[in-house]
Amino acid sequence: MAAPSMKERQACWGARDAYWKCLDENTEDASQCKKLRSSFESSCPQQWIKYFDKRRDYLKFKEKFEAGEFQPSRTTEKS
């Protein structure tokens, strides 16, 4: 399977960005963005979709973490 060309990469990133923008607007409610999700899935290799989903999770986690929304768990507090 050949690697995506520059054009295909850019199409994939565009679809990803549109999908992520929709998620931003709908506070991560994926049910509102089904059409963009399927467009994203058809524009990108499966590995990339998994990768970008993980990346999204990480970026959201990082945002929350930096906003100080995480408390140490009770077990780590006690240890």
Partner 1 sequence: MLARAPKAWHGFFPLKLLALPRIQGGQAGQVRYRPFSRQGPAETGRLGQPQGPRLRTRLLITALFGAGLGGAWLALRAEKEQWRQQQRTEALRRAAVGQGDFSLLDHRGQVRCKADFRGQWVLMYFGFTHCPDICPDELEKLVQVVQQLEAEPSLPPVQPLFITVDPERDDVAAMARYVKDFHPRLLGLTGSAEQVAQVSRSYRVYYSAGPKDEDQDYIVDHSIAIYLLSPDGIFTDYYGRARSAQQIADSVRRHMATFRSVLR
- Which residues make up the interface to partner 1 (CB under 8 A)? 1-6, 9, 13, 45-48, 50-52
Dig out the tokens for 73 from the structure. 């768990």
Cα–Cα distance, 27 to 4 (Å, whole number): 31
Q: Are 52 and 44 in contact (CB under 8 A)?
A: yes
Closest approach of Cβ 71 to partner 1, in Å? 29
Closest approach of Cβ 16 to partner 1, in Å? 9
Q: Which is nearer to partner 1, 19 or 52 (CB)?
A: 52
Closest approach of Cβ 6 to partner 1, in Å? 4
Q: Are 33 and 23 in contact (CB under 8 A)?
A: yes
